[in-house]
Amino acid sequence: MDDEVINIKLTRDQAFVLSDWLYQVMFRSDDLEGIVHDRAVWSPIYAISGTLDKTLSEIFTPDYGPRLEAAKQRLRADLYGADDEPTSRTEDG
């Protein structure tokens, strides 16, 4: 068995948004089985979720909702620009 550790780097916003999504899928909707059909995949999902839970203080703050929405907006802006719409990219820009 290969136990080499793989590190994944996320921004704090990425980690926060991913943590919320994982929580929604794993604990609120009980739909993990519907999304992830191979139970072998659950092991890394639980590992990522647990690491995020231990790392992120934001998940315990009273202003969780507004912080989460702000993080989502920043990530969308990073991906699509300030208007939150996908933009076409040109080769020179």
Domain boundaries, the chain: 12-80
Please give the pLDDT value at position 25: 84
pLDDT recorded at residue 50: 93
Whole-Å CA distances, 74 to 8, 31, 35, 45, 79 = 20, 27, 26, 24, 9
pTM over 0.85: no
pLDDT of residue 92: 44
Low-confidence ranges of the chain (pLDDT < 50): 87-93
